[in-house]
């Protein structure tokens, strides 16, 4: 199988990423100026086809569609991810992920790797599904401390184990530069005294 041929998993992950409105808008902005797009389709060679109507056949027949190369789609997603992130994560995405996309998508044509990377960044850096911070979230509590944990490995995901007050959480987390780098803020929020 060619590196440029997307697997079914990669196509599914691309569709999931496109469900985010910020990502979808950035991708659609890569189309023709002044046009709006109702649908998109993803080909196994990485081409993303934006259609002006909801009917793929009509878009093809009348020519009211635009084809984006995979690299263009990936950079649009990267741009959206930068906007969806904050602080050190934003900086890591700006400096690291764009270089990875250029290297892996354009030079090495590792399209599936790029899709996985973008999805990991969306899930763990932008979407905060990794559960790396509970600060400021009423009802969540942890030990009274702030801890900065940095773990590095050569571009391989690493497993980070967190143990606090008898609760355990395991995360598999590469940051946007390819190294595992996590900041944890753990503390007690919304404590009330009760009379016995």
Domain residue ranges of the chain, discontinuous segments joined by +:
8-126, 131-196
Alpha-carbon distances of 175 from 5, 25, 66, rounded to whole Å:
26, 24, 33
Q: Confidence band (pLDDT; 50, 70, 90) for 107?
A: confident
What distance in Å separates the CA atoms of residue 196 and residue 188, rounded to the nearest whole number?
21
Q: Fill in the DSSP letter of residue 101.
A: H
Q: Which pair of tokens denotes residue 17? A: 């990423």
Residue-wise pLDDT tens digits, 52-101 = 888 888 888 888 899 999 999 999 999 999 999 888 888 888 887 878 88
SS3 78: helix
Residue-wise pLDDT tens digits, 123-178 = 888 754 433 333 333 333 333 223 333 333 344 555 666 666 666 666 665 554 55
Q: What are phi and psi of 14, to 5 degrees?
A: -60, -40
For residue 91, give the nearest of 185, 2, 181, 190 by alpha carbon.
Answer: 181
Q: Look up tokens 């595992």; give the residue.
A: 180
> Would you say 71 and 101 are in contact if contact means Cβ atoms under 8 Å apart?
yes
């Amino acid at each position: 199988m060619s590196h440029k041929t997307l697997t079914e998993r990669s196509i599914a992950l691309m569709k999931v990423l496109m469900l985010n409105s910020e990502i979808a808008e950035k991708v659609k902005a890569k189309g023709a100026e002044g046009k709006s797009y109702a649908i998109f389709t993803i080909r196994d060679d990485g081409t993303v086809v934006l259609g002006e109507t909801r009917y793929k056949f009509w878009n093809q027949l009348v020519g009211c569609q635009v084809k984006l190369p995979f690299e263009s789609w990936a950079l649009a997603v990267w741009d959206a991810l930068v906007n969806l992130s904050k602080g050190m994560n934003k900086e890591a995405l700006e400096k690291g992920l764009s270089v990875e996309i250029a290297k892996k998508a354009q030079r090495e044509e590792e399209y599936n790797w790029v899709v996985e990377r973008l999805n990991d960044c969306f899930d763990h850096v932008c979407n905060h599904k990794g559960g790396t911070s509970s600060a400021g979230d009423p009802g969540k509590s942890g030990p009274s401390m702030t801890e900065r944990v940095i773990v590095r490995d050569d571009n391989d995901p690493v497993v980070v184990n967190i143990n606090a007050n008898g609760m355990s959480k395991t995360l598999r987390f590469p940051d946007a530069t390819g190294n595992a780098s996590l900041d944890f803020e753990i503390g007690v929020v919304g404590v009330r005294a009760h009379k016995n």
